[in-house]
Amino acid sequence: MTGAIPTIAEAARRIAAGTLTASELTERCLARIEAHEPSIHAFVTVTKERARADAARADAEIKAAGPKGPLHGIPLALKDIIDTRGILTTCQSAHNIGNVPEKDAASAAALAEAGSVLMGKLTTHEFADGGPSFDLPWPPSRNPWDLSRFTAGSSSGTGAAVAAGFILGGLGTDTGGSIRGPAALCGIVGLKPTYGLVSRAGVAPAAYSLDHIGPMAWTSEDCALMLQAIAGHDAADPASARRPVPDYASGLAGGVKGLRVGVLRRWHEIDRPVSDAVGAGIEDAIKAYRALGAEVVDLDVSPMQDYVAAGFFISTAERGAAYEAMMLKNPEKFGQRYRDRLVFASFVTGLDYVQAMRMRRELTAEMLALMAGVDVVLTAGNPDEALPIDQVPRWDNLDKPNFTFAFNVTGMPAICVPSGFGPNGMPVAIQLAARPFDEATLLRAAHAYEMATPWRARRPELIEARAAA
């Protein structure tokens, strides 16, 4: 148990043992939402009645036949660009203010099929890019560790809701770091799976060839349990991969003795020097892995700016294509920051796009070659702690590269794991990445690091203090 809210794995064990019910757990989460959501804004929609009905059904099913899996009766929520049948799905945009889909997205359906409890739809940047925005129909999410600070985005509500204990896990989406950035700044774990492993069907596009759906939760183990439910081929997603889905949780306790860890040192020392706290987290992780029996080596890699440049032109062109008609018809319905991103698309030529795709092929080949000699690579999750939310630059990430985009460009799985706290008391994180479809090794490496460090023992003090009062 962590504070008043267990991890998914802990809750599943207790539900299976009969010492906790889905309804009790759901009510505990709803009470936290009622107390703290007005100041955090993690949700666009709280589906309270649906949650209670799901929980009651789960309890009846479990009583009759036992849990059908570790997500049975577990309160989860979805980023609000993921379609949900009969439930408002806004993409945080005035364009979608009354949009109620007729069908669940594939990932939403998979979590429902696993018996989870749907708690609601979570705050995002508009159409998953460009925030924080204060000119949308709903406010941006606040960081539960300090309400004046940014969550990162675009899966901002998922990061905040998991950190605050409103839910035990949630789905985010990641086109340039939108799962891993909020995970890093909100002090939780966020996994971007390999491109094509999780169906995008029913999820609003951000950039077709870079979009990923993945789990965000308190631990790597919880991410493994969620990934298990949503991974697999789906003919409704034209980019879906036909790959076997291994048991992601079974190998977690295998440890990292003999594992090879490659450090992408130039990225955090030269290309975008990180804060002392982030740098200390990386060095401590290296020591932890060596102490656990892993071999750690430095790797030579191309500048992070090359990966980000390729990703920027591909994402900007694909986003522009996806939303061109809406932009030309009703530009005033977009918030300023998303409209900016669509204007940028006009600066991208066809030549830029093709050159970026060619560069992407070479960068992917480079990263595959690096990973041929190691099992995982290690870099930063974010360069520093969360900024005050009103100080996030309008042209954020244009003048400086971010640490997450490279693995959208290469399609490889990557995870952010908390690695300590900065001088302002805000979380910082490391990032690990692995070979395509090797989420099992990635999760094992992340889990071993978590178990060797104390960072999963602490929840946001603001929330815990109020919960105890």
Catalytic residues: 79, 154, 178
Told to check if 368 binds other proteins by CB under 8 A, we report no
Which tokens in the block code for residue 203? 């999820």
Told to check if 369 binds other proteins by CB under 8 A, we report no
CA distances to 110, 129, 406 from 403, rounded to whole Å, are 30, 16, 7
Q: Is the CB of 169 or the CB of 320 nearer to other proteins? A: 320
User: Among 56-64, 127-135, 191-199, 358-366, which window interacts with other proteins (CB under 8 A)?
Assistant: 358-366
Residue from the set 362, 390, 425, 461 that interacts with other proteins by CB under 8 A: 362
Within 316-355, which residues bind other proteins (CB under 8 A)? 327-328, 331, 340, 343-344, 346-349, 351-352, 354-355
Q: Provide, rounded to whole angstroms, the least separation between the CB of residue 466 and other proteins.
A: 41
CA distances to 34, 127, 154 from 151, rounded to whole Å, are 20, 16, 9
Angle at 422 between CA 405 and CA 464, to 5 degrees: 105
Q: Is the CB of 358 or the CB of 466 nearer to other proteins? A: 358
Please provide the DSSP assignment of 387-410 as one string: PBGGG--TTTTTSS--SSTHHHHS
364-251-460-183 Cα dihedral, nearest 10 degrees: 10
Told to check if 301 binds other proteins by CB under 8 A, we report no
- Cβ neighbours of residue 244 under 8 Å, at least 6 residues apart? none
Please provide the DSSP assignment of 31-55 as one string: HHHHHHHHHH--EEEE-HHHHHHHH
Q: Provide, rounded to whole angstroms, the least separation between the CB of residue 345 and other proteins.
A: 8
User: Among 54-62, 155-163, 172-180, 307-315, which window interacts with other proteins (CB under 8 A)?
Assistant: 307-315
Which tokens in the block code for residue 271? 């290309």
Which tokens in the block code for residue 151? 């969550």
β partners of residue 191: 415
Q: Provide, rounded to whole angstroms, the least separation between the CB of residue 400 and other proteins.
A: 9
SS3 of residue 374 by DSSP: coil
How much helix, strand and coil, in percent to the nearest 5, is found in the chain?
Answer: 45, 15, 40
Told to check if 125 binds other proteins by CB under 8 A, we report no
Q: Is the CB of 98 or the CB of 329 nearer to other proteins? A: 329
Q: Is the CB of 355 or the CB of 424 nearer to other proteins? A: 355
Q: Provide, rounded to whole angstroms, the least separation between the CB of residue 304 and other proteins.
A: 11
Told to check if 366 binds other proteins by CB under 8 A, we report no
Cβ contact 167:71 at 8 Å: no
Gyration radius of the chain over CA positions: 20
Told to check if 270 binds other proteins by CB under 8 A, we report no
Within 223-242, which residues bind other proteins (CB under 8 A)? 238
Cβ contact 171:158 at 8 Å: yes
Q: Provide, rounded to whole angstroms, the least separation between the CB of residue 250 and other proteins.
A: 33
Q: Is the CB of 318 or the CB of 385 nearer to other proteins? A: 318
Q: Is the CB of 27 or the CB of 352 nearer to other proteins? A: 352
Told to check if 106 binds other proteins by CB under 8 A, we report no
Side-chain-side CA neighbours of 385 within 13 Å: the count stands at 17
Residue from the set 78, 87, 309, 442 that interacts with other proteins by CB under 8 A: 309
Q: Is the CB of 49 or the CB of 332 nearer to other proteins? A: 332
Q: Provide, rounded to whole angstroms, the least separation between the CB of residue 212 and other proteins.
A: 19
β partners of residue 48: none
Q: Which residues bind other proteins (CB under 8 A)?
A: 238, 305-306, 308-310, 312-313, 327-328, 331, 340, 343-344, 346-349, 351-352, 354-362, 365, 395, 398-399
